Chains A and B, each alone.
Chain A
Amino acid sequence: MDEFVYDSVYLSSRDLREGRVLFETWQPNAQYAWDAGVAISRYLQEFKAGKLIGRSCPECSRVLVPPRMFCESCFCPTDDWVTLEDTGTVLTFSRCTITWDLVQLEEPQMPAVIEIDGASPGMGIMHMLGEVDPEALAIGMRVRAVWKPADERTGSVTDIAYFKPLKE
């Protein structure tokens, strides 16, 4: 098959840096304002109040978080708001030491998927972990939301600063 591989031209970063090849650059200036939608608007209103809520499906009885106005499994309307706990279990986590554009971070970020108490099994949300030694993180760890002070909350998922280990 070797004869069916085209001998394409490879450029090094030096070729670009030293202007040995021609190129054009452009930076887009696009801005967006996303509507949070019916379910997530209510969800974020409750964040402001320091509460987590989910939504239940009348057919499969799952309690869903993030909440949604329809169950994607049964494809029917969900019918009730359910107050959840602000505690949960770490389903998985990472210690991330670089930014998206590969800049090294001093302190690791600790993203996790956290199964929220009061929702159905496996119902996790993505959030950050904090107040914990990165090396002490473990799957199955019990955690609690650390809410920002009420007057600093804006109705965003960042109204929870992070989740920290729960001492039970």
Chain B
Amino acid sequence: MIGDRVAVVGAGMTKFVRRAQETPKELAWEAAHLALRSCEMTIDDIDAIVIGTAPDAFDGVHMKSEYLSDGCGAWGKPVIRGYVGGGTGVFAAIQGWYHVASGLFDTVLVVCEEKMSSCRPHPQAAFLTIFDHTTERPLKPNLLWIFALEMNAYMNRYGLSKRDIATVSVKNKRNAADHPAAMLGDPDITVEDVLNSPVLAWPVQRLDVSPVTDGAVALVMSANHVARRVTDRPVWVEGVGWNLDTAYWTNRDLAYPVYVEEAARMAYDMAGISEPRKQIHIAEPYDPFDYKELHHLEGLMLFDRGEAPRAAADGVTQRDGDLPVCPSGGLLGVGNPIAAAGLMKVAEIFWQLRGEAGARQVPGNPKRGLAQAWGDLMQVGTVVVLGV
């Protein structure tokens, strides 16, 4: 463990919407402004900026983070952009952590923003270039294939049905009904609604998938001595981890995310966690698709392989269950502005551990929570463990 303890001391976000009138810069400012206000800081109190935003192609703006920098408070400050696809939001918090833990900076503002609505007719156009240009793109793949192929491999390995998996979508959209920023909260949605939604790429159906979203989220992270001064309820970064699988995705075991396990092991070791099922009280795994929440819970070693669906069906992952999972409502319910969605998960753990989650608050005074995201060519795992 290097350096001093690092805390999250403030968080803010925009509403998550299908199409915002705000430019990316304006969205970034809205989130950053509220994160600073939440800990009574100003931009002058911030030593360095971390920016997270996903492909430039969404916005059609080359070097998106330079464009975005003014809205992130980066003028005249050291600034870095990290980019690991869908894993970016949690990775940005990891970068915020090592900026402070290294001793270089006392305070860091972490801002993640995504505006997917600009890309017409659908932001999938930007995702098509993820496939290998010579061995895959001639087959004219679309992004849903990769998820459908992975979901089918997962279902087949453990003999799971669509019904086993649809409960995740229902839980998260219901949880999101209590989130003031949510786009797709629905207190009345049922498993039948998910199972009857249009098939896109079997086994993926419409309500298995998170929406295209615009939004931004920001965190203020600080060194121990600053945290003690600005808040009486700091939330500490106890562990961080990240890991990458091979880019040859057709050579991987698609039924189990080993890269998530490796990232979790790194974070658990740092946090001194030997029994994650007892020591993690809330989890916000990445849920762009309902099966991914289950896949990731297993990779995080919070459930045995193939057992997460049964736990979900038994209510274990409900907000009042033994291990509340995505109490925010996740990407399926709050929305999925890629980089901002990952940081929203870290912000949710921050609010939950401070007891500030309002109607979403999980009972029992949770002391430790985990946020995880996933991305690149389906092969990066990023994990942050927070505690009080």
Residues of A within 8 A of B (CB): 1-13, 16, 21, 25-26, 28, 32, 34, 36-37, 40, 43-44, 64, 66, 68, 72-73, 91-102, 108, 111-113, 122-128, 139, 156-158
Closest to A96 in B: B201
Known: A37-B134, A100-B128. A2 touches B358 (CB 8 A): yes
Known: A11-B21, A92-B152, A96-B148. A157 touches B135 (CB 8 A): yes
Expressed in whole angstroms, the Cα–Cα distance for A95 and B125 within the complex equals 20
Known: A8-B15, A44-B134. A99 touches B142 (CB 8 A): yes
Closest to A16 in B: B19
B70 CB–A CB distance under 8 Å: no
Q: Give every chain B residue within 8 A of A12 (Cβ-Cβ).
A: 19
Q: Do the beta carbons of A8 and B358 come within 8 Å of each other?
A: no
Expressed in whole angstroms, the Cα–Cα distance for A132 and B351 within the complex equals 52
Known: A25-B120, A92-B153. A100 touches B135 (CB 8 A): no
Expressed in whole angstroms, the Cα–Cα distance for A122 and B248 within the complex equals 11
B215 CB–A CB distance under 8 Å: yes
Closest to B29 in A: A6
Q: Count residues of B near A (Cβ-Cβ below 8 Å).
A: 67
Known: A92-B254, A156-B138. A4 touches B13 (CB 8 A): yes
* CB 8 Å contact bits of B146-183 with A (1 = contact, 0 = none): 00111011001000000000000000000000001100
Instruction: State how many angstroms separate the Cβ of A35 from the closest Cβ of chain B.
Output: 9
Closest to A9 in B: B21
Which of B18, B30, B132, B200 has a CB less than 8 Å from the CB of A96?
B200
Q: Do the beta carbons of B201 and A8 come within 8 Å of each other?
A: no
Q: Do the beta carbons of A96 and B142 come within 8 Å of each other?
A: yes
Q: Do the beta carbons of A66 and B135 come within 8 Å of each other?
A: yes
Known: A1-B357, A5-B14. A124 touches B121 (CB 8 A): no
- B105-154 contacts to A, CB under 8 A, are 120-122, 124-125, 127-128, 132-136, 138-139, 141-145, 148-150, 152-153
List 6 additional contacts besides A92-B149, A111-B141; criterion CB under 8 Å. A5-B13, A8-B14, A8-B27, A25-B120, A73-B246, A125-B135
* CB 8 Å contact bits of B344-369 with A (1 = contact, 0 = none): 00000001000011100000000000
Q: Do the beta carbons of B253 and A122 come within 8 Å of each other?
A: yes
B78 CB–A CB distance under 8 Å: no
Among listed B31-39, B45-53, B289-297, interface-contacting one? B31-39
Known: A1-B356, A8-B30, A125-B250. A91 touches B153 (CB 8 A): yes
- Candidate in B12, B13, B149 with the most chain A CB atoms within 10 angstroms: B149
Q: Do the beta carbons of B125 and A101 come within 8 Å of each other?
A: yes
Instruction: State how many angstroms separate the Cβ of B310 from the closest Cβ of chain A.
Output: 21
Q: Give every chain A residue within 8 A of B202 (Cβ-Cβ).
A: 94-97, 108
Instruction: State how many angstroms separate the Cβ of B39 from the closest Cβ of chain A.
Output: 10
Expressed in whole angstroms, the Cα–Cα distance for A157 and B24 within the complex equals 39
Closest to A103 in B: B121
Expressed in whole angstroms, the Cα–Cα distance for A68 and B247 within the complex equals 12
- 10 A–B contact pairs at CB < 8 A? A6-B30, A7-B15, A8-B21, A8-B27, A34-B134, A44-B134, A96-B148, A98-B201, A100-B143, A126-B135
B274 CB–A CB distance under 8 Å: no
Q: Give every chain A residue within 8 A of B9 (Cβ-Cβ).
A: none
Q: Do the beta carbons of B139 and A126 come within 8 Å of each other?
A: yes
* CB 8 Å contact bits of B51-92 with A (1 = contact, 0 = none): 000000000100000000000000000000000000000000
Closest to B214 in A: A8
Q: Do the beta carbons of A72 and B199 come within 8 Å of each other?
A: no
B20 CB–A CB distance under 8 Å: yes
Expressed in whole angstroms, the Cα–Cα distance for A25 and B200 within the complex equals 28
Q: Do the beta carbons of A8 and B143 come within 8 Å of each other?
A: no
Q: Do the beta carbons of A123 and B19 come within 8 Å of each other?
A: no
B11 CB–A CB distance under 8 Å: yes
B196 CB–A CB distance under 8 Å: no
Q: Do the beta carbons of A91 and B11 come within 8 Å of each other?
A: no
Which of A4, A122, A157 has a CB less than 8 Å from the CB of B139?
A157
Instruction: State how many angstroms separate the Cβ of B324 from the closest Cβ of chain A.
Output: 16
Instruction: State how many angstroms separate the Cβ of B378 from the closest Cβ of chain A.
Output: 12
Q: Do the beta carbons of B200 and A98 come within 8 Å of each other?
A: yes
Q: Give every chain A residue within 8 A of B120 (Cβ-Cβ).
A: 25
Q: Do the beta carbons of B153 and A6 come within 8 Å of each other?
A: no
B4 CB–A CB distance under 8 Å: no
Expressed in whole angstroms, the Cα–Cα distance for A94 and B151 within the complex equals 9
Q: Do the beta carbons of A91 and B254 come within 8 Å of each other?
A: yes
- B250-304 contacts to A, CB under 8 A, are 250-254
Q: Give every chain B residue within 8 A of A92 (Cβ-Cβ).
A: 149-150, 152-153, 156, 254
B40 CB–A CB distance under 8 Å: no
Closest to A138 in B: B156
Q: Do the beta carbons of B12 and A100 come within 8 Å of each other?
A: no
Q: Do the beta carbons of A139 and B20 come within 8 Å of each other?
A: no
